[in-house]
């Protein structure tokens, strides 16, 4: 039995815009403060809160993702909690389904499970086998509980796998042209939930410098991301060294609130169902402060 559910209910529940917060930011934020900020996000009108889960070998680290999502769900009444992503190298498929199904049972309609982190010589085969094992577990563990399942998919092969075995995809740090390509690959029904990093700053040098620093810390420099940027038309001049202004401007939304809103609306026009805003700030409270500034421009249109 497949643990996924149709995308129609999820689209209605999510609205247009949600939030993505880095695992390290949440690791550094005490749980009591997290609860306060998650409640603020819900009051502001954002539809979801997502975070990721680095592999055990990562020097960055983070909280265990299902424990973290339980904090989100317990601190709010309608905010959808998203795993973007739950790392398949961190737990076996039975544990993955059991944890997701338990949260989905406790908070119906408020969990989306994003899966990724597959590595090795045959990552697609590894993910397919993992999904097989999850489905086998779902046939005997909480078989009546449903939750949407999305994959961290960048290229055509992973999009094809997502269209066959999941409810959609959750691309990370990709330009609008990737959203358009993903929608074409998924067809009209699959959930498409891209991540958009942003800085509310009209100084181009400062905004791009913050993004270059993020790349300098090792974010998304692996071959999968580089190959996908090349697939989208970015070459050596864009990808070497500090990354070109052209690439940075494609993956970073910067400027005033109107400029950021315009970028988010481009993702929607390209086929996104729900866009996740990732503010580059120094902490959770400052991220929510920034999202509060943007909210009048965004959530009133949800």
Of the candidates 137, 127, 63, 62, which has an alpha carbon nearest to the alpha carbon of residue 99? 137
Average pLDDT over residues 258-283: 98
Assigned domain for 294 exists: yes
Q: Does residue 279 form part of some domain?
A: yes
Domain for residue 277, yes or no? yes
Task: Specify the CATH number for the domain of residue 281.
Answer: 3.20.20.30
pLDDT for res 214: 87
User: The domain containing residue 146 runs over which residues?
Assistant: 7-201+254-301
pLDDT at 36: 98
| H-assigned helices in the chain | 7-14, 23-28, 31-44, 65-75, 93-106, 123-138, 156-165, 176-186, 204-216, 223-231, 236-239, 245-251, 257-269, 284-298
Is there a domain that residue 236 lies in? Answer: no
When pLDDT is cut at 50, 70 and 90, the band that residue 119 belongs to is confident
Instruction: Please tell me what DSSP assigns to residue 47.
Output: -
Q: Does some domain include residue 221?
A: no
| Residue 3 confidence class, pLDDT cut points 50, 70, 90 | very low
Instruction: Report percent pLDDT > 70 for the chain.
Output: 95
Q: Is 238 domain-assigned? A: no
Is position 240 within any domain? no
Tell me the C-alpha distance between 299 and 302, whole Å. 5
Give the pLDDT mean for 205-224.
79
Kind and range of the H or E element at 169?
A: strand 168-169
Say whether pLDDT at 234 is over 70. yes
DSSP state letters, 61-120? ----HHHHHHHHHHH-SSPEEEEEEEETTSS-HHHHHHHHHHHHHHSTT-EEEEEE---S
Instruction: Provide the domain count of the chain.
Output: 1
Look at 37 and 11; give whichever has higher pLDDT. 37
Question: Which pLDDT does position 239 carry in this prediction?
Answer: 95
pLDDT attached to residue 2: 45
The answer to whether position 227 is within a domain reads: no
Residue 244 pLDDT > 90: yes
**58 pLDDT tier (thresholds 50, 70, 90):** confident
Q: Which helix (H) or strand (E) holds 191?
A: strand 191-192
Distance of CA 76 to the CA centre of its chain: 19
> What is the pTM assigned to this prediction?
0.95
């Amino acid at each position: 039995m497949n643990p996924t559910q149709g995308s129609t209910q999820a689209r209605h529940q999510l609205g247009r815009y949600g939030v993505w917060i880095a695992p390290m930011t949440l690791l550094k934020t005490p749980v009591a403060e997290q609860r306060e900020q998650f409640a603020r996000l819900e009051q502001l009108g954002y539809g979801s809160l997502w975070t990721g889960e680095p592999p055990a070998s990562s020097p960055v680290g983070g909280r265990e993702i299902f424990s973290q999502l339980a904090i989100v769900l317990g601190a709010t009444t309608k905010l959808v909690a998203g795993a973007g992503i739950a790392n398949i190298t961190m737990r076996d498929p039975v544990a993955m389904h059991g944890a997701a199904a338990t949260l989905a049972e406790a908070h119906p309609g408020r969990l989306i499970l994003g899966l990724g982190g597959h590595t090795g010589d045959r990552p697609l085969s590894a993910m397919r086998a993992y999904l097989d094992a999850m489905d086998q577990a779902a046939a005997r563990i909480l078989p009546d509980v449903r939750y949407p399942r999305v994959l961290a998919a960048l290229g055509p092969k992973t999009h094809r796998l997502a269209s066959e075995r999941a409810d959609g995809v959750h691309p990370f740090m990709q330009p609008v042209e990737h959203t358009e390509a993903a929608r074409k690959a998924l067809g009209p029904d699959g959930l498409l939930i891209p991540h958009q990093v942003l800085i509310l700053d009209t100084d181009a040098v400062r905004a791009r410098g913050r993004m270059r620093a993020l790349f300098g810390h090792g974010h998304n420099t692996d071959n999968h991301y580089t190959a996908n940027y090349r697939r989208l038309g970015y070459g050596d001049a864009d990808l070497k060294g500090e990354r070109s202004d052209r690439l940075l401007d494609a993956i970073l939304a910067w400027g005033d609130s109107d400029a950021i809103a315009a970028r988010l609306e481009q993702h929607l026009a390209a086929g996104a169902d729900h866009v996740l805003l990732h503010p580059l700030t120094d902490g959770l409270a400052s991220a929510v402060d920034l999202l509060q500034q943007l909210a009048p421009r965004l959530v009133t249109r949800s």
